[in-house]
Amino acid sequence: MRRFLLVLAYLAIWSTPFQVGIVLWALVVVLSTDATILSLTNDIFVSEYLPKFYMFIKPLTYFIFPDVFADFIWTLPTVIHQILKAVVSTWLGLWLLPIAKGMPEKKLA
């Protein structure tokens, strides 16, 4: 369990620069096009700027999540969604890291 929590914590912390990069990329798109922060949804952003990823990930989200929840995720504004994801995942990683490091290690016999 300790190893799983450590991997999860480090993954949450290390993914922050990528999420901040997507936020900055979306802000550049907002500043350089007619799109606004609220009109640039995940669906529009990913379909226009990452089409190969979009072809793979959109059907997968509808397979994993209920259709209503997948629709909700795809209609969220990209900038706001990514900022919230970055803050929450960084907080989660920083919260889990000391907990996982404080857990006793299992010794194999």
Percent of the chain with pLDDT over 70: 98
User: Is-above-0.75 flag for pTM?
Assistant: yes
- Give the C-alpha separation, 31 to 24, whole Å: 10
On whether the CB atoms of residues 42 and 75 are closer than 8 A, the answer is: yes
Burial 58-92 (b: 16+ CB within 10 A, else e): beeeeeeeeeeebeeebebbbbebbbebbeebbee
pLDDT > 80? residue 106: no
pLDDT in tens, 10-54: 999 999 999 999 999 999 999 999 999 999 999 999 999 999 999
The sign of the CA dihedral 66, 67, 72, 73 is: positive
Residue 109 pLDDT > 90: no
